[in-house]
Amino acid sequence: MPSDTPEKSTSQLAVWRDLLAALDRVDVAWQATQSATSGTQASAQLPGNVAVALVKASERGTRALAGIAETLVEQYDSGEPFRQVASTLRQAIDAWPTR
């Protein structure tokens, strides 16, 4: 049975797998920060330059997550389960504070 979508090349799949691995690393790093800051106010421990870097990196990360959600809207049946997520992430990007 022919498919309407072309088969992904090995290099395309490798890029998506790299993205999955990067998201796993972000999750592990986030869990580590939660463990390290349990019982304390995390924001009080951040030097100003780290906070500014987090603002910038988090904005880029949010853009990436919005792109992933938009891809999932296109991938799954009607895309409905991810449509609200993609919309919310786009709103977060529009509202993201800059320094």
pLDDT in tens, 35-57: 877 655 655 678 889 988 999 99
pTM listed for this prediction = 0.77
Position 11 pLDDT exceeds 80? yes
Statement to judge: residues 50 and 84 lie in one domain: yes
Number of Cβ within a 10 Å radius of residue 28: 9
Statement to judge: residues 18 and 53 lie in one domain: no
Residue 2 forms part of a structural domain:
no
d(CA 13, CA 4): 18
Phi, psi of 39 (to 5 degrees): 85, 0
pLDDT at 1: 44
Domain span at residue 28 reads: 8-37
Give the tens place of pLDDT for each residue, 68-83. 999 989 887 776 888 9
pLDDT at 97: 86
Statement to judge: residues 85 and 50 lie in one domain: yes
